[in-house]
Amino acid sequence: QVTLVESGGGSVQAGGSLRLSCGAAGFTYRWYCMGWFRQAPGLERGGVAVIDSSGSTSYADSVKGRFTISRDVGENVLYLELNSLRPEDTAMYYCAAELGHYCPGRSRKAFSYWGQGTQVTVSS
């Protein structure tokens, strides 16, 4: 059974930083594309960043240069470093997984497995 558990969310002021983690269990982690998504109240869940089994990454334009996705294959952990945070980054952040060495883009519809989310709140 695929299990994804996020942690590391919190409340910070604009310009601050956070590091999100996602622990993965129940599947062969290195065979999966992994991603981070976020959803603010009243908005659709959108892709933030994805990383494939080779370490290739893709980012939403709104976070390029500020966020960094990475994965520790040995520990089955996915990370998202959030820097230069803005109030508009406030959202619930979700970890997601999809079988395949390459990522099927950043659409939420392409990912089959999801964590419960961790809240990030950025105040101005």
Chain position carrying tokens 């980054």? 89
Q: What is the pLDDT of residues 5-39, one digit of tens each?
A: 999 999 999 999 999 999 999 988 888 999 999 99
CB-based contacts of 106, cutoff 8 Å, min separation 6: 35, 37, 46, 47, 48, 49, 50, 58, 60
43, 77, 97 from 5: Cα distances, Å: 23, 10, 12
Q: What is the pLDDT of residues 35-87, one digit of tens each?
A: 999 999 999 999 999 999 999 999 999 999 999 999 998 889 999 999 999 99
